[in-house]
Each structure stands twice: as C-alpha cells, then as structure tokens.
Structure 1
Amino acid sequence: MRFSGFGEVSEGKFDFVKNARYFFIFSIIITVLGVITLGIHGLNYGVDFKAGSNVDIAVKKDLTGQKDAIEQYLKDNDFGSPALTVGANRVTVRFDEVLTDQKEKALKEGFAAKFDKEASAEVNTVDVEIAKELQTNALYAVLVASIGIVIYVSIRFEWRFAIAAIVSLLHDAFIVISLFSIFKLEVNLPFIVAILTIIGYSINDTIVIFDRIRENLRFAKIKTAADVARLVNESIWQTLTRSINTVMTVVVAAACLLIFGSESIKLFSLAILFGLVSGAYSSIFIASQLWLVLKNKQKPKAAVKSPAAS
C-alpha cells in the first residue's frame, strides 16, 4: 500500500494535516532568519565559553537606578566598558580579559567605597583553554543526547518516528539559540542545561503523540492514504488537551522563576520559556506531520502471488 494525500478531519475540528504545509513554511522561515542572525551577530558568549573574568557582587542596597553611574565609575578607573547587569541585590560585571590580582582588589575596594560598604564580590576567571573545552563538551552533550533519542525512538517505534522526533528537537533547540542571538542574550553553562532540558521535555511530549498514533494504527482499518491522515489528525486531537495543560503548568513555573528568581537564573528561565513554547509547537504541528510525509514516501509492498494463480 502506498500512502499519499490528505484526509478529512472530523467536522468542526482544525485539520492539522491539511494545514501542515503552512507550519513547515513558518518553521523554515524562522530557521533561515536564525541562520542569518547567527551569521551576522553570532552568539553573546558568557565567561563560561570565553576567556575573561566574571565579577559577581552581592549588594545590600538597590542599585538598579545607578547603572549609568557604575558604568561611568568603571570607565573612570580604567576598567573599560565591560558587560554590566544590575539587579536589586546583585551586580554582575563581565570582562573579556582576565583581571590581575591588583585589578580585582581595586575593583572590590573601589566599588564598596563608592556604592555599598557592605558589598561582597566573587570573581570567577576562565582561561582560553578551559573556555574552548567547555564549548566542545557542550556540543558533545547535545550531540550525545540527540543520538540517544534517535536510538531509543527507533527501537521503541520505527525509524520514521525517530527522524521526525530528532528534526523536531533540533528545531526547538535552534529556535532558542536564534532568539538568544537576535536579542544578544548571554550564552553560558546554564543555557546549555536549559537546551538539554528543552530537548528532554520536547521529546516527552512528542512521544505521547507518537504513541497514540501507533496505538490507533494497531486497531484502525487503514485502506487509503486518507485514512492515515485522518488517524494522525485524531491522534493529535486526542492528546491535545494533555499537551496544552502540561506546557501551561511548566510555563507558569518557569515564568515565576523568571520574575521572582535571582539574576543568576533569569536567562536560564527565559531559555526554558522559549523552549517550552517552541517544544509545544513542534510536537503538535511539526513532528506528526513530518512522520506522515515520510510515511507517504513508503514504497508499496509487492503483491504475493498465490499458488493457484501460477
């Protein structure tokens, strides 16, 4: 049997399969924009992936309104123009070069004297070799996770499901990376943790839909390609409420972390939020439809002649 074409979904329900081309086009446009943005701007690597010093200053006073004053102080005292983040109880200064012991001491003492006598600073330094090693290990982590998912889904389901799942996961990860590039947000180790978390969450949601498709295939009477398309639509609708409820509960938790959490986890929370939205979109609108496209290309099985016919 050869699968091709689209089926009609139940009356009154949105037809995910029939509109799949629009979802694919939208994702391709976002991907192309992401590639262009990464080519032009690249990523804003934090001190974890780029040699330099990161100074984390805990303050008792709220200095959010004094960012300009802090920047001017750094310029006036030969610290240049480092990346500066000022929160209610924390100030983070990122230098592209490694600070000497004298510079560290001068910064700590000068900042405390001018802005907050009770301020306490912690300096984290990463040299060039460590930064390169961290970049390589981060790529390996994402690659190994992706390969493991492909193997698992291939064994648990079939290779078409595995390809659809991995394309969906890479789509989610790339969307988050592209958004961080567009908004020039800092990429550090917590960002990599966020990417791996997004991959895990997205594959979980995708497998739920795949499992429903597989179960429905076992009991459905498939005679035409329209039957397969209709089955995919019904499978998505049967799991849609669960998918939406799951993503909304996690979105609320991630939003609370973003709003009420400390400065050190805000970018992590933001990456999770981006990934949750992208993951829900790809699980519902991309993965299953991509599996159907691959299924459409399946070659028809050769007919077996009966002995009486020979």
Structure 2
Amino acid sequence: MNSKQSPSSKWDFNFVKASKYFYTFSVILTLAGILSLAVFGLNYGVDFRSGSNVDIAVSKVVSKAEVQQVVNEANLDQEANITAGSDRVNIRFPEVLTDDQVQSLQSTFNSQIDANAAYEINTVDAEMAKELERNAMLAVAVASIAIVIYVTIRFEWRFALSAIVALLHDAFLVISVFSILRLEVNLTFIVAILTIIGFSINDTIVIFDRIRENLRFAKKQTYNDLGEIVNKSISQTMTRSLGTVFTVFIAAFALLILGSESIRMFSLAMVIGLLFGAYSSIFIASPLWLALRRKKKPSAVKTTT
C-alpha cells in the first residue's frame, strides 16, 4: 500500500532512488581522497608547519619574477613560495626567518620594488605548528560529537548516525579536493570546515524534522511507504534548503572572485563545501536514515512488490 503524495509538495521527484548515483559519486571521490592523502597528504600552510609567512601590501602591480629576484638578492638561503597580485604579495618560507633575514628582505624589497610597502610577518615554530594541528582536529571532533548528542536527544540514534555520516562526508570531500588539487590548508580552511558543518546540519535537521512530523500521520507498514515519506519530506523542504544554500553560495563565490588573497582558500572551501552539503542532506543523510529504519522491525517494515 502506497501513501499518496501530499498536495503541498512542489518537487515530484524520487530522491531515494536517485541517491544511489550520489552515493557512487561520493564513494569514488572519497577513495580518490584517501589515495591522495595517503600518497601526498595535505599542502599545509605556515599555520600548520614551521616557517615564516610574509604578507606585503604594495602600491603597484608586482610580478612573481620581480619578487623572486628580491628573495635571491636578499641572500635568505631558502626557497620561497611566492604569490603576487595587484595590491598584495605573499612570500612563504619553509624555515623561520631571523631578524637579520627579515631586515634584509624588507630593505631589498623597498629599494628595488616599492619603498612604501607595508609588511605583515607571521612566524610559526615546529612545536606551535603541531599544537595548532592538534587543536584544529580537536575542534572538528568536538563539534561532531556535540552534534551527535544534540540530534540523538532531539530525534533518535538513526537520525544522529545519518547526520554525522553526512557531516563527515562533507568535511572529508572538501579535504579530499584540497589534497587532490594541492591547495593550501591553513587556519581559515578549518574555519570554513566548521562553517560548512554548521550549514549542513541545519539543512539536515530541517528535513529530519519534517520526516518525523510526517511519520506521525502517514501509514508506514512497508518500506515503500517510508520511502514516500522521505521523498515527500525532502520535497516539502526543498525550496527552503536550496534558498539558504544559494544565498550563502553567492556570498562565498563573490568573496572568492573579489576577495583578498588572505581569504581565498576560505572562500574556495566554502564554495566547494556548500555544494557537497547541499546534496548530502538530501541524497545522503535522508536515504541513509531510511536504510537504517528499514532494519528496525523486519516483521513490520517490508518491501512491497
């Protein structure tokens, strides 16, 4: 027996059936991410490894070749990762610069490129880098545990398990993309991951709340009935979910295109994470809850043919 589609639903689509394609895509990208992390790891910025990061505000356009020449003539005795833009230059050194090296770099840059340049130098030693890495991982773990506890109390453990799988899915896929493309991971990246988790759990809870509400009034003797409840619940919340994600996506994309170099990786992580989060709440979390609920009472919940 199948329950009828609610007239309030605006999206006539079988989300549960379509979820297998998104599961396949996620599994492929996850495996690629695991392989990339195992072989190459993450491209850590100066926040997570020892070294010095020199951020220079300039009054004219500066080329990467000009900056490299300054680094060579300053006799710093180490390679530098240089990013040059229209108004800012970023130079990252793998080892901590001494005061004499900093002075040499500044004087050479001022004399050859821009006498009005303003400098911001951030230095992280090896022990501090390890501590920052531990704290970042701890922050993500604590946030995930808190979410599990909250969803378990408000709903049930199946909702909680589905939600945390979707959240870890979003976070890990963003990490995988950054590893595969060798993009820099810094503290703003961790902020982006935590922000993505927040938006993702918000959309997931909205759908779960509607599923719980529809369960109170709909027949649910068969697996197909539960599937229709999930489809109807997603349909009823689709406009709100897509509206929220689209609004934040536009803001993050604008920051990616128009923002400064210092927040470029944050903006990129947000753009990627919002896309993953948009479909994980719909095609990962909800179908996973359905699969777990199917096993609740085999005698009562069975598939009809």
For the superposition of Structure 1 and Structure 2, which TM-score range results when normalised by the shorter chain? over 0.9
Distance 1:227 1:75, change over 3 A: same
User: Do the aligned residues in 1 keep the contact of 2:70 with 2:108 (CA within 8 Å)?
Assistant: no
Q: Which runs of 5+ in 1 are unaligned?
A: 1-5, 303-310
Q: Which residue of 1 aligns with 2:12?
A: 13
Single out whichever of 263-272 and 73-82 deviates more from structure 2: 73-82
1:67 paired to 2:64: yes
User: Do the aligned residues in 2 keep the contact of 1:7 with 1:229 (CA within 8 Å)?
Assistant: no
Distance 2:42 2:22 in 1: 27
1:78 paired to 2:105: no
> Amino acid of the residue matched to residue 75 of structure 2?
D
Q: Per-residue deviation at 1:8?
A: 9.6
User: Do the aligned residues in 2 keep the contact of 1:44 with 1:187 (CA within 8 Å)?
Assistant: yes
Distance 1:30 1:57, change over 3 A: same
**SS of structure 2 residue aligned to 1:81:** coil
Q: Which residue of 2 aligns with 1:167?
A: 165
Distance 1:119 1:23 in 2: 49
Per-residue CA distance 1:171-215 (angstroms, 9 max, x = gap): 000111111111211111111111000000100011011011000
Distance 1:165 1:159 in 2: 10
Q: Which runs of 5+ in 2 are unaligned?
A: 301-305
User: What does residue range 243-282 of structure 1 map to in structure 2 within 5 Å?
Assistant: 243-282=241-280
Distance 1:7 1:290, change over 3 A: farther
Q: Which residue of 2 aligns with 1:305?
A: none
Q: Which residue of 2 aligns with 1:121?
A: 119
> Amino acid of the residue matched to residue 215 of structure 1?
E
Per-residue CA distance 1:5-35 (angstroms, 9 max, x = gap): x999799932111232222121111100110
Q: Which residue of 2 aligns with 1:30?
A: 29
Aligned residue among 188, 192, 195 for 1:194:
192
Q: Which residue of 2 aligns with 1:240?
A: 238
Q: Per-residue deviation at 1:78?
A: 3.1
Q: Per-residue deviation at 1:75?
A: 3.0
**SS of structure 2 residue aligned to 1:121:** strand
TM-score by length of structure 2 reads 0.92
Q: Which residue of 2 aligns with 1:308?
A: none
> Amino acid of the residue matched to residue 35 of structure 1?
I
**SS of structure 2 residue aligned to 1:13:** coil
Q: Which residue of 2 aligns with 1:306?
A: none
Aligned residue among 100, 104, 107 for 2:105:
107
**SS of structure 1 residue aligned to 2:123:** strand
Q: Per-residue deviation at 1:69?
A: 2.5
RMSD over aligned CA atoms reads 1.9
> Amino acid of the residue matched to residue 51 of structure 2?
G
Q: Which residue of 1 aligns with 2:227?
A: 229
Count residues in correspondence: 295
The runs of at least 4 aligned residues of structure 1 exceeding 4 Å deviation read: 6-12
> Amino acid of the residue matched to residue 286 of structure 2?
S
Distance 1:46 1:222 in 2: 52
Distance 1:12 1:95, change over 3 A: closer
User: Do the aligned residues in 1 keep the contact of 2:144 with 2:164 (CA within 8 Å)?
Assistant: yes
User: Do the aligned residues in 2 keep the contact of 1:8 with 1:226 (CA within 8 Å)?
Assistant: no
Q: Per-residue deviation at 1:301?
A: 6.8
TM-score by length of structure 1 reads 0.91
Q: Which residue of 2 aligns with 1:144?
A: 142
Distance 1:263 1:69 in 2: 19
Q: Per-residue deviation at 1:297?
A: 1.4
Single out whichever of 292-301 and 208-217 deviates more from structure 2: 292-301
